[in-house]
Amino acid sequence: MFSYLRERFSSHLRQRSRRRARLVSKDGRCNIEFGNVEQSRFVFLIDIWTTILDLRWRYKMTIFISAFLGSWFLFGLLWYVVAYIHKDLPEFNPSINHTPCVENINGLTSAFLFSLETQVTIGYGFRCVTEQCATAIFLLIFQSILGVIINSFMCGAILAKISRSKNRAKTITFSKNAVISKRGGKLCLLIRVANLRKSLLIGSHIYGKLLKTTITPEGETIILDQVNIEFIVDAGNENLFFISPLTIYHIIDKNSPFFHMAAETLLQQDFELVVFLDGTVEATSATCQVRTSYIPEEVLWGYRFAPIVSKTKEGKYRVDFQNFSKTVAVETPHCAFCLYNEKEAKAKEKKGYDNPGFVLSEVNETSDTKM
């Protein structure tokens, strides 16, 4: 029992040691941090709208509540100061003929309640501004205008946060693994992508970036060097009809960075394949981008995806997402170079070539038969 647990623990440690750092997680989040940034954080306050939208919900709701409570309390203090200066408070024992700036403000609590009623336009009718002092009228106008600005900004930020196209991207899913197998007589890297909603993404475009460490001829080491990876679909990679799951593929030819890789050496490679899907949300006309990534352990050589779309007896098309990431082993060349040489050899056999070293010599035959 202990030997089994020790073996499992050592296997887990080996897997953790082999775990690779990835720039983009499976759900599209970027694993990167910025250090020693010389610019001040004040630049983020200049673009306050984007800063508010990028905040997490707990911070956004804290700012939302603090903005309203803070403004109510601040103006409550100002209304209390106005009443104190004008000697409207009961502690000053105003005369019967005394007309206050604001009716029925007896202290800080009532001043806070009047501030809340003014800013949210409740207007219970018990407290109201009189025409006695211009300061109170000016403060009423200023608080009303500022309250509209706060309401517009905070409510707009909440609505924009809810309707961000980033949330639409969560209903676009990629297969857990990428596979390499033959497709149309060519060795291809295939990935499956699906739209979980019936609403389409308009003008969808799929492309990829291969991230790896490259050493230039000058000896410079470039970390996260980006190489373009072209993905295509049978119908083309522009304006996809994204109503059902699609299988996108990259042809591994001489121009592909996967050309010199083989099934035996794939796990020894150090790369990260990042796949992007850009499109426009049909409902809101907002653009969105979906990202995912694959490391060598997530690329299966010699497999293809299991069928996922079928037709029912009622004539409907059914998509079985249980087989979405399921793969099936198929016969596949162990490298693209071998497949290329095999095709080249077959083409030579069909075409035929002369041997320049072959010399045809004529032989004169003599007959020794005597009559």
pLDDT of residue 236: 56
Confidence of residue 65 (pLDDT cuts 50, 70, 90): very high
Nearest to 238 by CA among 209, 274, 201: 201
Nearest to 301 by CA among 271, 249, 266: 266
pLDDT tens digits, 108-154: 999 999 999 999 888 777 888 988 889 999 999 999 999 999 999 99
- Sign of the C-alpha dihedral, residues 49, 51, 53, 57? negative
Q: Which of 17-26, 183-192, 239-248, 305-314 has the lowest mean pLDDT?
A: 17-26
Q: What is the pLDDT of residues 250-271, one digit of tens each?
A: 999 888 888 888 888 888 888 8
What does the pLDDT read at residue 24? 85
CB–CB of 158/60 below 8 Å? yes
Distance between CA 331 and CA 194 in Å, rounded? Answer: 26
pLDDT surpassing 70 at residue 289:
yes
- CA-angle at 17, arms to 14 and 19, nearest 5°: 110
Least confident of 110-114, 188-192, 222-226: 222-226
Q: What are phi and psi of 96, to 5 degrees?
A: -65, -35
With tokens 């403060």, the residue in question is 139
- The pTM score is 0.69
* Residue in this structure with the two tokens 């009047």, named with its chain if needed: 114
102: left (phi over 0), alpha (psi -120 to 50) or beta: beta
User: Which of 1-5, 44-48, 91-95, 140-144 is predicted most confidently?
Assistant: 140-144
The domains located in the chain, with CATH, are 39-161 (1.10.287.70), 168-348 (2.60.40.1400)
